[in-house]
Amino acid sequence: MMKRIVFGIAVALSFVPALAAQEFDFKALDKIGANASSSTNITLDGDTLRMAAGFLGGVQDKDAANVKSLVANLKAIYVRSYEFEKPGQYNEADLAPLRAYLKQPAWKAIIDVREKQESTQVYLLPSPNNKLAGVAVVSTEPTQVTIVYVNGTLEMSDLQKLSGTMGIPDIRQLDMVKPADGKTDKKAK
């Protein structure tokens, strides 16, 4: 009986890396944008990323060189941003497939900010040697939905290098503050 239990656990654990390696199908989010007054849809696979990095600054530009070296380790960047004329024009349930994907055991939710009718979650996919295999940001407001998903090997410091480039919102402008009351608050610098 014990051998069966150990074997069952070993088989179950062998599927965790496979689940983490599976890609999310971003077509599942198309319903969200059906009523959007404006939308941004950026899909950059590995080859497209490297080509786009080629358009960043000259060789002398240190920031451009940093981004170019970072992009070499990325598999894809997906950005979906939808704006609506009025609240109620998208269904929160349309985000359920993405949220279910990010609840896999391999993903770690590191930030969960909820204020009135707004929410922002940041998820990391850890990998060996203190690196990341992915980062996802899901931000919803009554009239806006933004999703950023970065797939590939990177370090925490690399997130700031990507901020504000290749369709990724400028995350350097946000300061996450945790007041004494324990609630997380978002403040612009």
pLDDT tens, per residue, the chain with 189 residues: 333 333 333 333 333 333 344 578 888 888 898 999 999 998 888 788 777 766 665 555 666 666 676 777 888 888 899 999 999 999 989 999 999 999 998 999 988 989 988 999 989 999 888 888 999 999 999 999 999 998 988 876 766 666 565 555 555 544 443 333 344 444 433
- Tally of domains in the chain: 1
Is residue 9 in a domain? no
Is residue 112 in a domain? yes
**Which residues form the domain of 148?**
39-168+175-188
In 3D, which of 145, 129, 137, 86 has the Cα closest to residue 112? 137
Stated pTM of the model = 0.69
Q: What's the rounded Cα separation, in Å, for the pair 168 and 13?
A: 33
Is residue 121 in a domain? yes
In degrees to the nearest 10, what's the CA dihedral of 78, 96, 122, 35? 60
Is residue 44 in a domain? yes
